[in-house]
Amino acid sequence: MAYRGGWLWATTVRPLVALRAARIDAEFLTGLLAVPLVEELRQGRSAWEGVRSVPPGHALVLSRGRAAAEPYATAVDTPRDFPSAASRLREALTEAVSLRTRQARVVTADLSGGLDSTTVAVLAGPQRPVFTVTYTDRRICNDDDVRHADTAVQATPGLEQHMVHGDDSALPYGRLTDIPPTDAPCLDVLTLARRTTYLTPAARRGSTVHLTGNGGDAVLSTSPAFLADLVTSGRHREAVRETMARARLWKVTAHRLLRAVYALGRSSYPEALLLLADQLNGTGKRPTGLASTFSWTVPSAAVSWLLPEARVRLARRIAELERSASRNEPPGQWRDWRGLRWFGAGHAQYVAVGELLGLDIASPFLDNSVVRATLTLPSWQRAAARQLKPQLRAAMAGRLPESILTRRTKATFTSHGYAGLRAHREELRALLEGSRLAALGLLDSAKAIAALERGAEGLPTSLAALDSVLAAEAWSQAGPHTGTWWRTRREPRDAPTA
């Protein structure tokens, strides 16, 4: 931030906002709510007017009269094949976990029984004693997580397990008036009650670092658009073979799927931006079904709750991006990298949520070395028809119990969302009735309230879109976003003695 002929910078936006008395950047929020993967709309900006941010993969370089965000060196040898990529991932993850545990006095960790958190806990256990926390409650679907977590504990020296049994007090959307100030809206605050329930035992244990598997999905999974990357790379025979395999797996008509894959593979990002602008203007239809899955990106359902003026302004800005947008990046790889950066920005705010409990949240999957070991591999080499996260499974073969490596189930929390809407209906309605987003000229609060009421009645509604709006409302209404300046006085060194 420019200040008195110089520059002020901070690791959090709050002290800069307090000094400048900055206002919320309404255009930043509009792009975040409507098209979160079109990150150019937020490039170099923050959620506050006049305060700039340093993009992921960049360093802040300050010189006389100039402040610039410049990409730092990320050159590494690209893995040439899947086995070498799996080996590199194993090495990078092991080192990332070791860096967190070497000097920590008390190590705690999530242990859901899923592949990601179990990997991190199992890598940490032999190095240091690790106090692990496993959460369960009666609403979790496909809940064999507890059994897999037990298996990991039994098979790994150094792991101590603590079970947390949640009740209705841990439902989503509770305690939104208690959320901590964060630099931008954070979806994790919507589950603050549940996170507090299962993280509190770690805090009471005196944790000095708390390990999580957060980021594993973003780093290790790939979008179905990887099929289109095979087309753009000229691997047509492989594209057809893999598409036919997915058609059988997903139970869709093969020729329809092939048509969608090839349409995406032959399109470009600039063309996608123009289509997106038309969709926001109402002159183009929002794609659904296969057309939605095989698109560069689609507008969030929250777009229909935005005021027309906000949609028009956003459409104009997106159309302007078309002139400078790259035509070279394949769509699957584009979606994977954008999804990772979007997740990483949100995770940075989750760290602030952990600080509420005095926890230092660490997520080894988000380390640069781990990201490079995975996303430098072409998208189609990171996918397998009947296996999630094949690269991690190969990397951890022999380290994780076989039953965890081969599991195909995953606990879901969808029922928690609807139960939470029902339990906190009145508070959420009050939040939207006093909408700050509406006051900023973004939101038609009546439409958002109607979506809330549908969900509270158990009727289908877009939980993802509703979550993004509720998180933004809770953030904007959280009170003064003040910060603290830390001043350090450097004491003169003692003069050297002769």
pLDDT at 143: 61
pLDDT at 481: 52
Least reliable range by pLDDT among 73-77, 88-92, 155-159, 338-342: 73-77
Question: Which residues, at least 6 apart from 26, have a Cβ–Cβ distance to it below 8 Å?
Answer: 310, 440, 441, 442
Residue 147 has pLDDT above 50, yes or no: yes
pLDDT at 491: 41
pLDDT bin (cut points 50, 70, 90) of residue 492 is: very low
pLDDT at 451: 97
pLDDT at 484: 54
pLDDT at 496: 34
Nearest residue to 479 via CA among 254, 247, 177: 177
Let me know: does 362 contact 212? Beta carbons within 8 Å.
Answer: yes
Give per-residue burial for 191-227: e unless 16+ CB within 10 Å, then b.
Answer: bbbbbbbbbebbbebebbbbbbbbbbbbbbbbbbbbb
Residue 489 has pLDDT above 50, yes or no: no
pLDDT bin (cut points 50, 70, 90) of residue 72 is: confident
The percent of residues above 90 in pLDDT, for the chain, comes to: 65
Let me know: does 26 contact 49? Beta carbons within 8 Å.
Answer: no
CB hemisphere CA count around 351 (13 angstroms)? 17
* Rounded average pLDDT over 398-425: 87
* Rounded average pLDDT over 162-167: 93
Question: 170-193 pLDDT, tens per residue?
Answer: 999 998 877 888 889 989 889 989
Residue with tokens 């979606």: 335
Question: 258-305 pLDDT, tens per residue?
Answer: 999 999 999 999 999 999 999 999 887 888 889 999 999 999 999 999
User: Which 8-state DSSP code applies to residue 23?
Assistant: P
> Following DSSP, what letter does each residue of 326-388 receive, concatenated?
-S-S-HHHHHHHHHHHHHHHHHHHHHHHHHHTT--EE-GGGSHHHHHHHHTS-GGGG--TT-S
Please state the pTM of the whole predicted model.
0.91
Mean pLDDT of the chain: 89
pLDDT at 363: 96
Question: 456-487 pLDDT, tens per residue?
Answer: 999 999 999 999 999 999 999 885 455 555 54
Nearest residue to 198 via CA among 345, 340, 424, 361: 361
* Cα–Cα distance list, 239 to 42, 54, 231, 327 (Å): 34, 38, 6, 21
